[in-house]
Structure 1
Amino acid sequence: MEDIKIEDIAHALSLMTRANGHFKHFYSVAQHSVNCYKEAKIRGYSKRVQLGCLLHDASESYISDLTRPVKKNVSQYFVIEEKLQMVIYEKFGFINLTEDEIYKIREIDDAMLYYEFIELMDEKIFNEDPFIAMKHNFSQRDFKTVESEFIYTFENLNKSHTKNSFVGVDGCKYGYVAVNITDNDFEINVFKNIEEICAKYSDSNTILIDMPIGLPENTYDIRPETEGRKILSSRSSCIFTVPCRQAVYEEEYYKANEINRNILGKGLSKQSFSICSKIKEIDEFLNNSPEFKNRLLESHPEICFAMLNIDGTMAMPIFENKKTEEGMERRLEVLSRYYEKTDEIREVLYSDNKLKGIKDDIIDALCLAITGMLGYKNGFKTIPQNPMKDSKGLFMQMVYAIDV
């Protein structure tokens, strides 16, 4: 293990060609690996998956590679490759990949292979086009530049990977409040807009927000509200109906109400219209910032509280009003089961006068941060189980997590 160095891996892979040299021009394994990392990042996958994509061919730097048709018939190669790859992962503190993480890395590797062969070999190797989230650079690049980018990417990922960060965001009267919890600390900040939040926490493992993402444009687009209300039972009124995208972009209430009725067959409440400016802001931000598409995730605090307050297999909603002292204490008690610094956050809430009017919003944001932490560890669950994407490619879903 002491012989393994990231500099050696980056150098060797930058000088090793893909497809055994049969492409139109030199295209290195390192460039392929960096492209895989970029694909994972823009899909909003975790830092672990991003790092796995960067390092998934690292063993080739020491034992070279075989073309896929040959490799299938040399079983011992797989034994050597897997053993070396595991040692490399362990060397960089990156072990115990889940089945879901392994699947995501392989899926991206195969997708990149497919488009590399189309671009550089004029050959279609699969019957169906695999999904790809961005256009990649398959041009011939300078060896040294690729080597440097590989090392720079590794150092950034490895650095942020060692310090986990989970962010929960809720709307408040000042704009947005964000709670960031890390391995050994936390912070509470207020922001004017979503762009500031994503800029500050761009390296966070997860960012969850209590705001609609993924907007319907017709009656065939299915949002998660109906299923979410079933979970909350008599507390279902806290989940409001999300307007259609056309209504969100209308500035006058009576026009937005009419548009929503014509498109979705239902009127638009003034409560829903009151947050349309925030919904529009987030929708515009995500369409202009593809790296945060399906990475900034919609969630709902009351659903998350119900899932964190689970009794056996049954979700238990919290019925106390969240704006009352009793309701806040009840929610903080549930969160303290999962995050050891919850009591410290409680002290801040009751001692900082600047936070007086947004304590319930901060508790909601903390709930989403903790949900992000559990989702990163155990995997997220979604409402509905198989969410649709809207016309902009955004999932219409609410995410939650449970402790397993």
Structure 2
Amino acid sequence: MKFVGVDGCKAGWCAAWVEDDRWGVGVYPLFADLWAEHRDARSVLVDIPIGLADDANRTAEKLLRERLGPRRNSVFNTPAREALHARSKAAAKAINRKASGKSLSEQSLGIMKKIAEVDSFLTAHPEAVEKMFESHPELCFAMAAGHPLAYPKRDVPGVVERYEILQRFVPDVRGLLDRVREYHSASKVAGDDVFDALMLAVSGRQGAGRLHSLPEPVERDANGLPMAVWYAEFDKQ
């Protein structure tokens, strides 16, 4: 069985996968390209919001922040569906403020195009919905470590912290990162993009057939898409 983890990057989408203990990594310009190659996966865990509330208030974000504690700032507000297709950042902020009483951060605005890409893809490919799971790398790292991580992912101690966790599950983390570097610079695919994709693939395999969700039971948006963040339980070390 194949398990895939996906993180957005400047070059498109960074994916990591494991199948029968063989690991791979790749970068895809479009989400549809990724699906075309990995539609045979048991699960695809994606670090992008799936399911959009009309009022921009998803229980998933609230519960995720509570779980992450010191890393709660890594959770960005998901925009209201109407704000997703606004013509400008200012318009998106205004629409979101009207819908929810909250504006949108630059981080949220920065991933709007990717949210829209995945939302459009899943609307056009309902057969993919049962395999696609919104997840969050910081939650997955925390579950594997047994506690929220101590350092931000781009700080040197944070890189070391995450590398050491991945080494427990992935035989050649350095080699996989080097493979990405053969074709993509760090400005297009950052090291943390690769680490995040690997951690999501690890979690997909760990939780095969038994992923848990925040919230539970799962909420759904007006289009029937799930609004939940999925994760796996790990054995205590």
Normalised by the length of structure 2, the TM-score is: 0.92
Instruction: State the Cα RMSD in Å.
Output: 1.6
User: Are 2:22 and 1:185 aligned?
Assistant: yes
Secondary structure at the residue paired with 2:4?
strand
Q: Which residue of 1 aligns with 2:197?
A: 365
1:300 aligns with 2:136: yes
1:355/1:198 CA distance change after superposition, 3 Å: same
**2:72 counterpart of 1:240:** no
- What SS does structure 2 have at the residue aligned with 1:323? coil
Please list the CA deviations of residues 205-261 of structure 1 after superposition, one character each: whole Å capped at 9, or x if unmatched: 110100000001026x53311111111112111101111000011121111111000
- Of Structure 1 and Structure 2, which has the larger fraction of its residues in helix? 1
Superposed, 1:136-285 pairs within 5 Å as: 164-218=1-55, 222-285=58-121
1:94-145 deviation digits (Å, cap 9, x = unpaired): xxxxxxxxxxxxxxxxxxxxxxxxxxxxxxxxxxxxxxxxxxxxxxxxxxxx
Which secondary structure state, in structure 2, belongs to the residue aligned with residue 236 of structure 1? helix
Distance 1:355 1:308, change over 3 A: farther
Q: Which residue of 1 aligns with 2:220?
A: 389
Rounded to whole Å, the distance in 1 between the matches of 2:91 and 2:8 is 24
Gaps of 5+ in 2: none
Q: Is the 8 A contact 2:142 2:148 kept in 1?
A: yes
Structure having the higher strand fraction is 2
Partners in 2 of 1:329 and 1:234 — Cα distance? Answer: 18
1:322 counterpart residue number: 153
Distance 1:340 1:194 in 2: 24
CA contact (8 A) 1:294 1:394 kept: no
Q: Which structure is richer in relative contact order (CA contacts within 8 A, separation 6 or more)?
A: 2
| Deviation sequence 1:332-359 (CA, Å, 0-9, x none) | 211232x242xx1223425745455121
Structure 2 Cα separation of the partners of residues 321 and 353 of structure 1 = 26
Contact 1:349–1:356 (8 Å) recurs in 2: no
Kept in 1: contact 2:48–2:115 (CA 8 A):
yes
Identical positions, percent: 35
Query: Secondary structure of 2:227's partner?
Result: coil
Structure 1 residues 383, 231: closer, same or farther in 2, change over 3 A?
same
Instruction: Judge conservation of contact 2:133–2:230 (CA < 8 Å) in 1.
Output: yes
Q: CA deviation at 1:270?
A: 2.2
Q: Give the alignment's TM-score, normalised by structure 1.
A: 0.55
Greater radius of gyration (CA)? 1
- How far is 1:326 from its partner? 2.9
Aligned residues: 231
Amino acid at match of 1:397: A
Q: Which amino acid aligns with 2:197?
A: A
CA displacement at 1:387 relative to structure 2: 2.0
> For structure 1, which runs of at least 5 residues remain unmatched after alignment?
1-163, 311-315
Partner of 1:345: 173
| Inter-partner Cα distance in structure 1 for 2:59 and 2:226 | 9
